[in-house]
Amino acid sequence: MTRARARKTTVAQEGSGGPDAPGLRDLLHCVHCGLCLAHCPTYIELGLETESPRGRLHLMRAVSQGRIPVSQNVVRHLDLCLQCRNCQAACPSGIRYGQIMEEARAEILRDGRHAPASWLASRLVLRLFFSRPERVRYLMTALGLYERSGFQGLLRRSPLLNLLPGPWRNLEQLVPRVSARPFLARGIVGSPTHDPPRFRVALLSGCMMPYIFGHVHEATVRLLVRHGCEVVVPPEQVCCGALHLHSGDRQEARRLARHNVDVFLAEKVDAIIVNVAGCGAAMKEYGELLKDDPRYGERASRFSALAKDVNEFLAALPLSDGLGPLRQVVTYQDPCHLAHAQGIKAQPRALLQAIPGLELVEMSHPDQCCGSGGIYNLTHPQMAQRLLRRKMLEVAATGAQVVATANAGCALQLEAGLRRYGLSGRVAHVVELLDEAYRTGAKTP
């Protein structure tokens, strides 16, 4: 028995349960200093100790020690957590709050008796669609038909939209625009024309990204090729499992992770490039997720070491010449799983500041969650809207024409916010703006 498995068994004997239950040692690291409170979105909104990281850790520790049972009330407080990891980044004790919360949810879901209906529904939907690439394609085709039929516009202009239940109304407002030209290329999708490649990299295409943000993939490929990369999109790759992890379905996340480890390592690349913050954070933690797997533990660690956010990868290179001016005012929204889970904050800003003519204006709290949180804006629409309203007020105060970010969920949430509050401007991925600058430079005599 491994040391990690033995520790889990000891904790289970003290009252918590199965193999994914948070370890008591991890829970005991909290010294109740309170530095996390000012960084927790739900605590900022509600001012309740039970809706803070410190309060939730206290509840999980009490359950782990057998002092209180798992109850609907306990689960309700854990359920309201966004899992944004802002507290984790601020914690002086280095508590791995994100993983602890994922483990706690997995144990509650495994037991099943107190799992909220939203968790059970999320697991079902994620397994039915996101775990199966061909089913994602069918779903995106249906959404495309819904948009092009004109029914979406009719519904949004009619009072019927306000009669829908909160989650369904929020879902409709977040329905992404499906591209008429999805990014479905596989194999080698780009390589330098004149010089030998400096790097061979693999690109995660993801689940929904090819259909709703295919243009971001295209910009990513152009930038990577421009900077000396041969870019391959492994055809057999599957969902990264990030949404499954957040929803407590670690069993399915492990299955997806094992598949991706096999597929990407077979390509023998120098880096695995990810342009979605949530996906990148999950992939960088494959080593932790599969650490007890005798076949995949070491290979998963190698995979995680290769995973690089596109901002991280590009900022580490000297940018090539040819950037043209973009005379726009831009504000940057830190995706939670880029800033807090991966510690990447300076690199996107460095890329934006390298663009001539671009004025970067910081909002008051760029690293506070916008309310997306994976599928949080669907399962907790009221809290998500409170956070989005706060974010839109900060965006409006900057006077920015563009809100830049680096995560698909954030982009959808921010676009919905611009529409809801009648703000002009657009949302763009950092790589889109960098690619636009290079294309502007190519046209400049």
Closest by Cα among 179, 171, 172 to 211: 179
187 CB-side CA count, 13 A = 0
Boundary of a domain, candidates 65, 88, 115: 115
Arithmetic mean of pLDDT, 247-253: 94
- Let me know whether 213 and 237 are in one domain: yes
Residue 218 corresponds to which amino acid? E
Residue 182: inside a domain, yes or no? Answer: no
Which of residues 99 and 168 earns the better pLDDT score? 99
Q: How far apart are CA 247 and CA 241, in angstroms?
A: 10
How does residue 166 score in pLDDT terms, banded at 50, 70 and 90?
Answer: low
User: Residues 409, 278: contact at Cβ < 8 Å?
Assistant: yes
Count of H helices and E strands in the chain? Answer: 25, 9
- Let me know whether 43 and 87 are in one domain: yes
- Let me know whether 304 and 347 are in one domain: no
Arithmetic mean of pLDDT, 205-234: 96
- Let me know whether 337 and 426 are in one domain: yes
pLDDT at 406: 97
* Element holding 246 (H helix, E strand): helix 242-246
Domain that includes residue 38, residue range: 3-115
Arithmetic mean of pLDDT, 179-194: 92
- Let me know whether 191 and 299 are in one domain: yes
pLDDT at 155: 77
pLDDT at 167: 64
Tokens 């994620």 correspond to 126
Q: 175: which 2 tokens?
A: 């329905």
- Let me know whether 295 and 339 are in one domain: no
| Strands of 307-309's sheet in order across | 187-190, 229-233, 199-203, 271-274, 307-309
Q: What's the farthest any 2 CA atoms get from each other in the chain? A: 73
- Let me know whether 414 and 376 are in one domain: yes
Give DSSP secondary structure letters for 131-197: T-HHHHHHHHHHHHHHHHTSHHHHHHHSGGGGGS-HHHHHHHHHPPPPPSS-----EEEE--SSS--
How does residue 375 score in pLDDT terms, banded at 50, 70 and 90?
Answer: confident
pLDDT, one tens digit per residue, over 1-58 is: 344 444 343 333 334 456 677 776 778 888 889 999 999 999 999 999 999 999 999 9
Dihedral sign for Cα atoms in the order 383, 384, 388, 391: positive
pLDDT at 146: 80
What percentage of the chain has pLDDT greater than the value 90? 71
Give me the number of domains the chain comprises: 4
Arithmetic mean of pLDDT, 177-204: 93
Residue 321: inside a domain, yes or no? Answer: no
pLDDT at 13: 36
Boundary of a domain, candidates 256, 284, 315: 315
pLDDT at 444: 66
Considering the chain, what is the average pLDDT of its residues? 90
User: Residues 224, 192: contact at Cβ < 8 Å?
Assistant: no
